């Protein structure tokens, strides 16, 4: 990962530049490290939905390749340019980026149609009710879907103009942002992609500094194009998920059989696949030794899991809490944990929170234990 401290006015941004456009963020260094692997899994899964096969990394703590902080100048945030982006963009890489940006745009338009249908019968899509700090663009999360689409299209024009100072200004003169949505969105996308092709043919590196003092290259422009669309695609899908009650259609099963193979796949996707958990025999023994389990199912797909080992009188240990990355930030983990804790008000619950997950467990009533001790596994 390439780390950007100070991203979005004080958070930590993490860019997985082996997969340009793949991004995670967190309020702390530990939090963003914990979110990196699920972000890659979600990105790779999104590509697979469009017929592009990529192999994601094995679970583990990410390596920080480079750290470049965002800088505030008179209240304006100048974002990072990483060393690996100060290079030529190859022709294959360019077309791959344009293709992926096109997929993100198509997904946004398809999602907008679903939102239009929802709003036509049930009123405006509600803003996110969760803490605004939990979204990368939390302050803007209450905008209408129509406003988000226009914003994304306008940002595409802006991004493709970042290298104008080095390569000559070409102004967008198509349908306006305040006119009909579809003509503007389509024209803005076509202009932005034609512009990056023109820039590539002129200078495949394209180093430039814009009027605010932010440094850009063609690689950074392409990375930000895809990330920005995917970020808002995720935001709108979260909001529609809540509005449609999609979470309520996920079935929670208590003490229902779960195959080790399906659980390993879930743990790997969630970035929780350490050696002990990837061993099928050990994981089966862990399941067999559990007092109770809660599994979450989207149709026939396992999308969440947690288990507890308890004397059912005074003490219990919660373990193996995992949620599929496509269900992150949609309330599924909270549902699973509440089901697992149900009926155990007299029992002290203990768990090991992964770095960055403290806030999630604190909202469920857990508190840091100052005097806890643990003997690590010896093998």
Q: What is the CATH number of the domain that holds 355?
A: 3.40.630.30
Burial category of 249 from C-beta neighbours within 10 Å (exposed 0-12, middle 13-18, buried 19 and up): exposed
Do 368 and 358 meet the contact criterion of CB atoms below 8 Å apart? Answer: yes
Q: What is the DSSP letter of 245?
A: T
Q: What's the confidence (pLDDT) of residue 21?
A: 93
Whole-number pLDDT of residue 168: 65
112 and 235 assigned to the same domain: yes
Question: Does 125 share its domain with 222?
Answer: yes
Q: Which domain holds residue 323?
A: 249-362
Do 215 and 81 form a contact (C-beta atoms < 8 A)?
yes
Whose tokens are 């240990």? That residue is: 317
Q: What is the pLDDT of residue 135?
A: 45
Q: What is the pLDDT of residues 32-91, one digit of tens each?
A: 998 999 999 999 999 999 999 887 777 777 899 999 999 999 999 999 999 999 999 999
Instruction: Report the pLDDT value the prediction gives residue 50, as an integer from 0 to 100.
Output: 96
Q: How many structural domains comprise the chain?
A: 3
Tell me, yes or no, whether 129 and 208 share the same domain. Answer: yes
Query: CA 70, CA 80: separation in Å to the nearest integer?
Result: 6
Q: Are residues 63 and 22 in the same domain?
A: yes
CA distance 116 to 240: 11
| CATH code of the domain containing 65 | 3.30.160
Residue 131 lies in a domain: yes
Are 54 and 129 within one domain?
A: no
Amino acid 136: pLDDT: 43
* Co-location of 192 and 97 in the same domain: yes
Same domain, 229 and 254: no
State the pTM of this model.
Answer: 0.89
Which of 225, 244, 263 represents a domain boundary (last residue)?
A: 244
Give residue 60's pLDDT: 75
Does residue 367 fall inside a structural domain?
no
Q: Which two tokens stand for residue 182?
A: 């579809």
Report the run of H or E that residue 304 belongs to, with start and end. strand 301-310
Residue 379 falls within a domain, yes or no? no
CATH classification at residue 218: 1.20.120.450
Q: Residue 131 has what pLDDT?
A: 46
239 and 160 within one domain:
yes
Kindly give the parts of the chain with pLDDT less than 70.
Answer: 129-142, 165-168, 276
Same domain, 143 and 70: no
265 shares a domain with 188: no
Q: State the burial class of residue 321 (Cβ atoms within 10 Å of its Cβ: 0-12, 13-18, 19+).
A: buried
């Amino acid at each position: 990962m390439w780390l950007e401290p100070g991203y979005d006015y004080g958070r930590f941004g993490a860019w997985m530049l082996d997969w340009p456009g793949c991004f995670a963020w967190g309020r702390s260094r530990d939090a963003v490290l914990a979110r990196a692997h699920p972000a890659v899994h979600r990105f790779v899964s999104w590509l697979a939905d469009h017929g592009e096969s990529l192999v994601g990394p094995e679970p583990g703590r990410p390596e920080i390749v480079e750290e470049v902080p965002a800088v505030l100048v008179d209240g304006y945030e100048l974002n990072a340019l990483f060393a690996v982006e100060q290079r030529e963009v190859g022709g294959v890489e360019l077309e791959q980026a344009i293709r992926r940006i096109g997929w993100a745009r198509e997904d946004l338009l398809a999602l907008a149609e679903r939102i239009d249908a929802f709003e036509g019968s049930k009123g405006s899509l509600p803003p996110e009710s969760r803490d605004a700090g939990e979204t990368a663009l939390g302050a803007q999360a209450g905008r209408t879907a129509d406003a988000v689409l226009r914003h994304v299209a306008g940002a595409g024009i802006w991004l493709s103009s970042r290298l104008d100072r080095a390569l000559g200004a070409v102004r967008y003169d198509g349908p306006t942002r305040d006119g009909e949505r579809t003509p503007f969105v389509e024209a803005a996308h076509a202009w932005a992609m034609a512009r990056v092709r023109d820039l590539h043919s002129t200078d495949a590196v394209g180093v430039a500094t814009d009027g605010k003092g932010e440094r850009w290259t063609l690689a950074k422009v392409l990375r930000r194009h895809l990330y920005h669309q995917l970020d808002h695609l995720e935001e709108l899908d979260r909001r529609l998920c809540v509005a449609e009650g999609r979470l309520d259609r996920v079935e929670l099963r208590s003490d229902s059989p779960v195959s080790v193979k399906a659980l390993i796949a879930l743990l790997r996707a969630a970035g929780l696949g350490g050696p002990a958990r990837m061993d099928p025999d050990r994981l089966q023994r862990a399941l067999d030794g559990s007092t109770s389990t809660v599994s979450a199912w989207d149709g026939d797909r396992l999308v969440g899991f947690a288990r507890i080992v308890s004397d059912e009188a005074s003490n219990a240990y919660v373990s193996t809490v995992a949620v599929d990355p496509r269900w992150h930030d949609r309330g599924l983990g909270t549902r699973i944990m509440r089901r697992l804790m149900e009926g155990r008000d007299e029992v002290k619950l203990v768990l090991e929170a992964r770095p960055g997950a403290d806030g999630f467990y604190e909202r469920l009533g857990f508190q840091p234990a100052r005097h806890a001790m643990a003997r690590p596994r010896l093998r």
